[in-house]
Each structure stands twice: as structure tokens, then as C-alpha cells.
């Protein structure tokens, strides 16, 4: 469940916030002056997102080196790489 809390409340209840993230897979948006600044998410989700991002850029760089063609072809290849990174 996504929850939004102020920075002050997050600081006052950090242990509880961490437990809810770890045990219940809750996610938190921490705000200051009503503006979202940071997110607290389960480490598994963070690592998965990081791996997907690295894979995307690896595929993107591979495509840049191997693709020579018009912009339409490059866009199609990029869309394929993005889809592959999401899987």
C-alpha cells in the first residue's frame, strides 16, 4: 500500500515505517512542505528496478553500436529493447 507522510512524522516513526515496508511491503512517499521528496520501498523492489534499468541501458548501448538506419528503424529497435528490459 502506498502511504504519504511528512518528513517529521517519518522521522518520529522511522522504526514503524521500516517495519511496514519490510513486513507488509508498504511503500512510503516522504513529503516536506507538502512536496514529495523521497520514497521508501522494499529492498527487493529497489534491486529489481535497478537491475531493469541496468539491463535497459546495456541493451540501448548494444543497439547504438549495431544499428545503422533511419530514425524509424532506430525507434522500433529501441522499443524492442525497452520491452525486453521490462520482461
Task: Measure the N-to-C terminal CA separation of the chain; round to a whole number of Å.
Answer: 23
Q: Are residues 37 and 48 in the same domain?
A: no
**11-40: per-residue pLDDT in tens?**
999 999 999 999 999 999 999 999 999 999
Q: Are residues 55 and 27 in the same domain?
A: no
Question: Could you give the number of structural domains in the chain?
Answer: 2
pLDDT at 33: 96
Q: Are residues 25 and 5 in the same domain?
A: yes
Rounded CA gap, 45 and 16, in Å? 19
Q: Are residues 16 and 32 in the same domain?
A: yes
The residue range of the domain holding 7 is 1-41
Domain of residue 3, CATH code: 3.40.1620.10
Query: Cell triple for residue 70?
Result: 533511419
* pLDDT of 79 strictly over 80: yes
Q: Which residues have CB under 8 Å from 78's CB, separation 6+?
A: 60, 63
Amino acid at each position: 500500500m502506498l502511504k504519504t507522510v511528512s518528513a517529521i512524522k517519518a522521522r518520529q516513526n522511522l522504526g514503524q515505517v521500516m517495519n511496514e515496508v519490510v513486513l507488509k511491503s508498504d511503500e512510503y512517499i516522504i513529503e516536506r512542505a507538502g512536496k514529495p521528496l523521497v520514497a521508501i520501498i522494499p529492498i527487493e523492489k529497489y534491486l529489481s528496478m535497478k537491475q531493469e534499468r541496468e539491463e535497459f541501458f546495456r541493451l540501448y548501448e548494444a543497439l547504438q553500436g549495431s544499428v545503422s538506419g533511419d530514425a524509424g528503424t532506430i525507434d522500433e529497435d529501441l522499443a524492442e529493447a525497452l520491452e525486453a528490459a521490462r520482461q
